[in-house]
Amino acid sequence: MLVATIPLFDENMTVQAYSLYVQSKNYLLNPSLLGTGRNDGVFHIPGLDIIRAVGVDAVAADKEVFVEINNISVFTDIEVQCEAAHDRIVLLMDNTIKPDEMYINRLKALKESGFKLAIRKLPVVSFEPYREILLLMDYILLDHKKIDITKARIYFSKIYPNIKLCAGNIKTKEIFEGLKAEGGYHFYEGEFFRMPVTQGQAEVSPLKVNYIELLNLVNDEDFELTKAADVIGRDTALVISLLKMVNRMAVNSEITSIRHAAAMLGQKELKKWINTAVTNELCADKPNEITRVSLLRAKFAENLAPIFEMAINSSELFLMGLFSVLDLILDKPMAEALDMVKVSKDIRSALVDKEGKFAPVLDFVTKYEAADWQEVSRQMLLQNIDMNRVYEAYTDSLKWYRDLFVVQ
Domains of the chain, by residue range, sit at 2-193, 206-370
**Which has the closest alpha carbon to 43: 74, 66, 18?**
74
Dihedral pair phi/psi, residue 368, rounded to 5°: -65, -45
- What whole-number distance in Å separates Cα of residue 166 and Cα of residue 170? 11
Please report, to the nearest 10 degrees, the dihedral formed by the alpha carbons of residues 266, 283, 141, 402 taken in order.
20
Q: How many residues does the chain have?
A: 408
Query: Domain 206-370 falls in which CATH fold?
Result: Hypothetical protein af1432 (1.10.3210)
Structural element, H or E, at residue 6: strand 2-9
Its pTM stands at 0.86
- So what's the pLDDT on residue 379? 93
Cα-Cα-Cα-Cα dihedral sign, residues 144, 146, 150, 152: negative
Contact (CB, 8 A) for 265 and 232:
no
- pLDDT (tens digit, 0 to 9) for every residue of the chain, 408 residues total? 889 999 999 999 999 999 999 987 766 665 555 444 445 545 679 999 999 999 999 999 889 999 999 999 999 999 999 999 999 999 999 999 999 999 999 999 999 999 999 999 898 889 999 999 999 999 999 999 888 899 999 999 999 999 999 998 898 889 999 999 999 999 999 888 877 666 655 567 776 777 887 888 877 777 777 877 777 777 777 787 777 777 766 555 666 778 887 787 777 788 888 888 888 888 888 888 998 999 999 999 999 999 999 999 998 999 999 999 999 888 889 999 898 888 899 999 999 999 999 999 999 999 999 999 999 999 999 999 999 999 999 999 999 988 875 433
Contact (CB, 8 A) for 183 and 148:
no
Contact (CB, 8 A) for 388 and 394:
no
Q: Architecture of 2-193 per CATH?
A: Alpha-Beta Barrel (3.20)
**Which has the closest alpha carbon to 53: 21, 73, 82?**
82
Angle at 405 between CA 404 and CA 406, to 5 degrees: 110
- What whole-number distance in Å separates Cα of residue 234 and Cα of residue 207? 12
